[in-house]
Each structure stands twice: as C-alpha cells, then as structure tokens.
Amino acid sequence: MTPSRREFIKFVVAGSVAAGCPIDETLFAGPESKSAAAPLVHGEHFEICHQLRDGHQFDRPDATRNVGIVIVGGGIAGLSAAYFLGAKDWLLLEKEPQFGGNALQEEFEGKIYGTGSAYASRGDQGDQLASEIGLKLPVVNMPDPTIVNKTYVPDTWKTGLDQLPYPKEVRESFKKFRDDTMKIKVREKMAELDAQPFSNFTAAYAPEVQQWWDGFGPSNWGATTEESSAFVGLANAQDLISGGDAKRAILPGGLGCITHKLVEVLQPKYKERMLDNAAVVAAVQDKDAVRVTYFHEGKLTTVSAKAVLMCTPKHITSRVVMGLPSEQKTAMRRYRYAPYPVVNVIFDKPVYNRGYDNWCPGNTFTDFIVADWTIQKNPGYKQNHNILSFYTPLRELQRSTLLDENDCKSLAARVLADFRKLLPEFNVDPIEVRIYRRGHPMFMAVPGQYTKNRLVASHPMERIFFGNSDSGGPESLTSEAVRLSKAGSEWAELLLAGKPGAKELAEKTLAVTSG
Ligand SMILES: Cc1cc2nc3c(=O)[nH]c(=O)nc-3n(C[C@H](O)[C@H](O)[C@H](O)COP(=O)(O)OP(=O)(O)OC[C@H]3O[C@@H](n4cnc5c(N)ncnc54)[C@H](O)[C@@H]3O)c2cc1C
C-alpha cells in the first residue's frame, strides 16, 4: 500500500475507554451534606465518569419511587436478567447510550460484524438463551488454522502439527506438549493448577509453543502464559486438542447477536423500564431496601429497590456498592482487566475466507475472524464485503494508549501492515478500518481468580446479588453471565415473595465450578 493510497482509507475510532472509570465513594457527599452548587452533569457517561474521577461531590437525593428489582448494567448479564424476570417489576439502568456491553454488534452498509465477544458453544447457556429468543446459531464447523511464516496451516492441533513451518524438532515439541497435556487430570487437580501459572506447563517446550499460547491466552482470557492460571490454560488446551472447537456456534455480530435480539424482544414490552445513559453512582443497602442513585437526563435520581442485581464488572461494582465488607471490596479490586481493542477491517471484495478463527503468532493481533463465516453457505448469500475482525488484546500498562485517537489509529495501521505480510494474497487495500476500543472489558484469568478470589468478591449481600460474567469463569464467558443472571432472577423472585432460600441459591450458584 502506498502512503497516498493509505490516506484514502477511512479510520473510525469508537468505543468507551472510560467504561472502567473509577467511581470512588469518597467523592460522594453524604445524604446530609447537600452541595451548594447543582452538580455539573451533562448526562453523558464520559462526563459523569470524569467528574467523579476529578473529585466532584454528588448528592444522593431521597428516593422518589419504589421498584421491585433494579438491574445495574445492560450487557448480556443485565439484559438476560431482565428477560428472565419478564413481567416482574424491574428497572434496568445502563450507563452507555446503547445496551450490549462487551457483546455488541455493529454494521457496515447492512453487513453485521462483532466488536468483541465472538462465539458461544453449542448447548451452553448463551446458545440456549439464543434459541429461546428465536436465534439459531449455526456451528462454525472449522477447526482453528494458524498462519505463520507465510504458511497457512489448517487444523493447527490435529493434522496441522505436521505442517507447521518450523524445524522438525519444533514440530515434535508441539506434539510432546499435546501428548503431555492430555495426560494431566486437569479437572481433578483444579485447585492445585489454578494456584500456579500456565507457563509452568509451557516453559519446557520449544519457544514457539509458548508463543502460540501467548496469543491464544490474551485473546481468550486476557493473559499470557506467565500470567494465566494453569487450570484455565490447560483446560483450554485439552479442549482444543480434543476437538472442542467443533462445538462453536455463532451468527455474524458475534455474541452481540444475542444482546441485539434481547433488546428487540424486551423493548416493545418494557421500553420505559430500560434506561440507557443512566449511570448508577451508588447502591446503599438499608434494612428493607436498597437505595440506588443514578444520573439520567442531567439529574440525579434515587429509587428504592427490594432487590438489586449488580451486572457490572467488579472494579465498578466495588465503587458503586456502599458498605461492602472490606475483604470483599479488596477481592473486587484485585480483579485485573485486559485493555482490548478490536480492529474491523472492511474490504469491498472477498480477500480471505479460508478459516473462521485464524491464529497468527508474532503479530500486532493474536487472531482474526471472518465476520460472516457461518452464513456464507446460505442459499443466495452474496459476500459483497469481506469484514475481518482482528483481536488485539493489550497489556495493562498499554491501557492509556487507548485514550489517544492517534495511538488507536497507529495500532490499526500496524494491524494492517502485519496482515499484509501474512500471505502474498493479502496485499489488498481495505475501504475502511474501524477500531472499537475498550479499557477494561475482559477480566484476566490469573492464578487464584477462579477458585479463590471470585468467591470472596461475589458473595451475595442480603439484598444485592453480584452477577456479571466476572462472578463466574473460569474465563470471561457470556454463558456464565447468562447462567448467573438466570439464578439472580430466581434469587430476586424469592426475596420479593418473602420466601426462604434466596441466600442459599445465590451461594450455590457461585460455588458451581467447571470442575
Ligand atoms: C474482545 C473480546 C472477545 C470475547 N470473546 C468471547 C467469546 O468468544 N465467547 C464468550 O463467551 N465471551 C467472550 N468474551 C467475553 C464476553 O464478552 C463477556 O464475558 C460478556 O460480554 C460480559 O457480559 P456482562 O453483561 O457480564 O458484562 P459487560 O458486558 O461488561 O456489561 C456491563 C454493563 O454495565 C454497564 N455499566 C458499567 N458501569 C455502570 C454503571 N455505573 N451504571 C450503569 N451501567 C454500568 C456497562 O456499560 C456495560 O454495558 C469476549 C470479550 C472481549 C472483550
């Protein structure tokens, strides 16, 4: 691509980097201390977050309304909770101008693509919810290829191990890793493995083996081998090696197709209960209710709820919920999140359609997927745009680069440059590049997170249930967000009906592990 040609490519930067902007309770005025000046609020999520961060004092006005259940956060966890609660008395508060959170689909001239969350697994809770609301997720039907050293290797972990363009001893090392890994009783040893880094199990092999997992890990659970739980790494390796990828199912838009459909199903019936641009700044549990204060349309409002489902990530939850036991608050703050832009590159003709999720060790991106892969074979389907979604998880120290639009554009330019070098046929110009940036979208599956930290962080309060995918695991999964919300909605119904068993149900839900 010549520099002059490059100038014609349109770069679009979108996405909320402020999503994780800390809301510190010390910044709030207590109920008795009314601030003299009206709060400077522009009703926009960035503005609110920035004001809170910068030390503005905000009131918590008296409750003006009673609500049965308040759901905080309109990602897949919050939306599915609303869906499961159905006709019950709920109010959903979402800080962004749109619902969907990290499972959000977008479109380019009518062609749907995802901005994050990629696929479900046949039969998991996300897939089940999808069928319930009328979405049939087709299976991907394609094992993961690797593209490395200008070579396309289909089915990396099966026939591909003999085709990897590395010296023979490196290929043998890949095979030894495969064989050794399959012998480990991963689920039986969950606690022991979750306490140590995955690199303990990759370091003995050729560096190319670790390099491969240093792409797969950050893309799927936000952490390199050194920072990953060995339980998470090995469980994923066994799944991939034994063909678990055959269960992947999705439509264009990734898991954003489910949140999109949930909004379509919910809004006609419950539009007035679903507030966007409504950032919750405090949830205070009293004896018989929880007071929830939020910004909406330029003002602070408080509602009194019998039960609250917190469907926000823990680093936000820890700043919104007042009166958390200190050990629980510390556990919430211990969560680590990978900054994670996704770069969608749009071509006006077919460029690449050989594999769905393509691993590319040693590049700016870890992998890329073909947006319309599972509908390409539909009768009459014509691919007039080829949209490739490049996954570019960053290290935590790189988070601030997402605040600068030029840094985002230069990341996207590096993605393009690396893509063009992968295979000779990739020497093609796109018509547009869209960068979707998120500052804290994926909790990192670090040692101890799954078997220890999350259990302390997500312990239910009397009237507050801690949902969100980060109450589950082992990694960040929409199926876990849905599972927890299903239980959360049952918990809320028990509480509202004054029936026993709510606390036990919440605790049991949390204790379920993939072991
Ligand atoms: C790049 C990427 C790829 C992924 N791939 C997959 C995949 O292939 N398969 C899979 O299962 N999972 C995948 N995931 C993980 C999956 O996207 C998440 O687990 C899931 O979307 C989390 O949903 P959630 O509703 O629990 O949380 P979130 O999506 O984080 O939703 C929380 C919502 O709360 C809102 N909020 C925050 N603070 C406030 C506040 N103060 N007041 C009101 N609202 C607030 C946020 O704006 C957001 O909408 C991926 C994630 C990323 C980033």
Average pLDDT for 349-372: 97
Question: pLDDT value at position 146?
Answer: 98
Mean pLDDT across 108-135: 96
Average pLDDT over residues 376-401: 95
Amino acid type, 27: L
Q: What is the pLDDT of residues 184-207, one digit of tens each?
A: 999 999 999 999 999 999 999 999
**What residues pair up with 100 in beta bridges, in sequence order?**
75
Q: Output the pLDDT for position 58.
A: 64
- The whole-number pLDDT of residue 131 equals 98
The pLDDT of residue 76:
98
The structure tokens listed for 114 are 């995802």
| pLDDT at residue 4 greater than cutoff 70 | no
Cα of 441 from ligand 1 centre, angstroms? 6
Q: How confident is the model at residue 380 (pLDDT cuts 50, 70, 90)?
A: very high
**At residue 3, does pLDDT exceed 70?**
no
Q: What mean pLDDT is predicted for residues 443-468?
A: 97
- The mean pLDDT of 485-506, rounded to a whole number, is 97
439-443, 485-489, 511-515: least confident range: 511-515
The three-state DSSP-derived secondary structure of 138-205 is: CECCCCCCEEECCEEECCCCCHHHHCCCCCHHHHHHHHHHHHHHHHCCCCCCHHHHHCCEHHHHCCCC
The DSSP bridge partners found for residue 93 are 72, 275
Nearest CA to ligand 1 atom 37: 312
Best of 16, 76, 117 for a ligand 1 pocket test (most atoms within 8 Å of beta carbon): 117
Q: Residue 57, SS3?
A: coil
Residues with CB under 6 A from ligand 1: 19, 72-78, 93-96, 101-103, 116-119, 255, 279-280, 311-313, 316, 320, 340, 342, 391, 438, 441-442, 468-469, 476-479, 481
Surface-to-core class of residue 25, CB atoms within 10 Å of its CB (0-12 exposed, 13-18 middle, 19+ buried): middle
Say which amino acid occupies 257.
Answer: C
120, 478 Cβ separation under 8 angstroms: yes
What is the residue with the minimal CA distance to atom 26 of ligand 1? 468
- Å from CA of 391 to ligand 1 middle: 16
Q: Please name which of 463, 513, 452 lies closest in space to residue 491, comparing C-alpha atoms.
A: 463
pLDDT at res. 8: 72
Counting from 1 in the atom list of ligand 1, the atom nearest the Cα of 391 is: 1
Q: How far is the CA of 165 from the centre of ligand 1 (A)?
A: 37
**Is residue 413 predicted with pLDDT exceeding 90?**
yes
Per-residue pLDDT at 52: 54
Report pLDDT for 43: 34
The dihedrals phi and psi of 499, each to the nearest 5 degrees, come to: -90, 155
Query: How far is ligand 1, taken at its centre, from the CA of residue 467, in Å?
Result: 11
Lowest mean pLDDT among 16-25, 231-240, 337-346: 16-25
Percentage of residues in the chain having pLDDT higher than 70: 90
Q: What is the pLDDT of residue 9?
A: 81
pLDDT-based confidence at 7, cuts 50/70/90? low
The token pair that represents 292 in the structure block = 């929830």
| Most informative mutation of 102, 115, 119, 399 for ligand 1 (most atoms within 8 A of CB) | 102
Q: What are phi and psi of 389, to 5 degrees?
A: -105, 115
Q: Has residue 387 got a pLDDT over 90?
A: yes
What is the distance between the alpha carbons of residues 323 and 51, in angstroms, rounded to a whole number?
22
Report the pLDDT averaged over residues 310-327.
Answer: 95
pTM of the model: 0.93
Percent of the chain with pLDDT strictly greater than 90: 85
> What is the pLDDT, as a whole number, of residue 46?
56
**Which segment of 42-51, 91-100, 263-272, 330-339 scores lowest on mean pLDDT?**
42-51
Q: Which atom of ligand 1 is nearest to the CA of 338?
A: 53
**Ligand 1 center to 342 CA (angstroms):** 14
Query: In this predicted model, what pLDDT tens digit does every residue of 26-83 receive, in sequence order?
Result: 333 333 333 333 333 333 355 666 555 554 556 899 999 999 999 999 999 999 999 9
The b-or-e profile of 216-226 (16+ CB within 10 A means b, else e) is: bbbbbbbbbbe
Averaged pLDDT score across all residues of the chain: 91
Q: Which amino acid is at 62?
A: D
- Residue 295: pLDDT over 70: yes
H/E stretch holding 51 reads helix 45-53
